[in-house]
Amino acid sequence: MIFPELQAKSSAAHARTARAAVSGILRYAARHGAITANPIREIEPIEDGSKKKVRALTPEERRAWLAQLKLDPNAARKDLPALTRFMLATGVRIGEALALYWEDV
């Protein structure tokens, strides 16, 4: 199949995108009777095998990061030290932190 070749030449992300596009086209064809089933559904998922293990910052890394943000005038102007402290204290992801309104607190 073309996806392993694409993954080898480019990346797993590109191969997954190509697979999704081809699957959508074939799903459309199946829905309109041009083919009986979508053969992409039978292919194994595309894995890249490079999942990094998640780890927390050490106390020293956290202090260094916050000190760096505090000293950067651009970061301070954009409230990144406060945002970082909020994320570290609550464990929320960046999208969740940025979507929060004061009335939600």
Task: DSSP letter for 83, please.
Answer: H
Quick one: pLDDT at residue 94? 93
Quick one: pLDDT at residue 51? 67
What residue spans define the domains of the chain? 2-42, 59-104
Provide DSSP, 50-65. Answer: -PPPP-PPPHHHHHHH
Do residues 47 and 12 touch, judged by C-beta distance below 8 A?
yes
Burial status of residue 15 (CB atoms within 10 A of its CB: 0-12, 13-18, 19 or more): buried
Quick one: pLDDT at residue 89? 92
pTM of this prediction exceeds 0.75: no
Residue predicted with more confidence, 105 or 77 = 77
Answer positive or negative: Cα dihedral of 48, 57, 89, 73.
negative
Q: How does pLDDT run across 11-42, given as a tens digit for each residue?
A: 778 888 888 999 999 999 999 999 999 888 88
Q: Is the pLDDT of residue 2 over 70?
A: no
Q: Is the pLDDT of residue 81 over 90?
A: yes
